[in-house]
Amino acid sequence: MRGSRFTWILAAALAAPPAFAEGAASAEGHEGTLVWHALNLAVLLAVLIYFLREPIRGFFATRRRDIEQNLERAAAVLREAEERLAEWKRRMARLDTEIEEIRRLAEERAQAERQRILADAAAAAARIQRDCAAAVEQEQRRARDALRKEAADLAIELAGELLRQQVTETDRARLAEEFIERMEQPPRSPAVRS
């Protein structure tokens, strides 16, 4: 049906110029030319609509679909941005609390570290005191031992000097004889107990 209507319109458009050609020469020709132009425009529009209706409809349908998809994507991006904004607002609301919590934890850690350092320092000081006391005691023992040894050496030296001064030649001879007699005697066996 559409094809037959188009054929009639096309036939009318092609037949119209000779019919209006006669009227163009008359005084009323301006009106005929106007009708002719209107008819040509109508035929042109009918032909354009007939041939371009589907491509134009497809173009606008595609364009509409693209716009709808872009709107959906934009709505999704907007929702995501709003969710992020809400999350950041929640974080900002909790930020003061988190800062206080971090500050409190840092102070607790610093206090614990301070206590640990003080305990380590006290232990080190006690160890140093023990080591010093042990070193002092050891040095005192060494000094006492050295003094005893020196005193013994001096006593031996003084005793030797005294003996040299007080022991006469007869005393020396007598001591030598006693020593020789002891050496000549057989060793005594220990007494057997019953």
**How far apart (Å, rounded) are the C-alpha atoms in residues 190 and 194?**
13
184 domain-assigned: no
Residue 149 neighbours by CB distance under 10 Å: 10
Q: Which pLDDT tens digit goes with each residue over 68-126? A: 999 999 999 999 999 999 999 888 888 888 888 888 999 999 999 989 998 988 898 88
**How far apart (Å, rounded) are the C-alpha atoms in residues 66 and 84?**
27
179 domain-assigned: no
∠ CA 56-60-62, rounded to 5°: 115
**How far apart (Å, rounded) are the C-alpha atoms in residues 22 and 30?**
12
Q: Which pLDDT tens digit goes with each residue over 2-60? A: 556 556 655 665 555 554 444 444 445 567 789 889 999 999 999 888 888 898 889 99
Residue 36 neighbours by CB distance under 10 Å: 19
Q: How many residues does the chain have?
A: 194
What is the residue range of 109's domain? 2-166
Q: Residue 187 corresponds to which tokens in the numbers above?
A: 């060793």
**How far apart (Å, rounded) are the C-alpha atoms in residues 139 and 136?**
5
Q: State how many domains the chain has.
A: 1
DSSP type of residue 83? H
**How far apart (Å, rounded) are the C-alpha atoms in residues 110 and 119?**
14
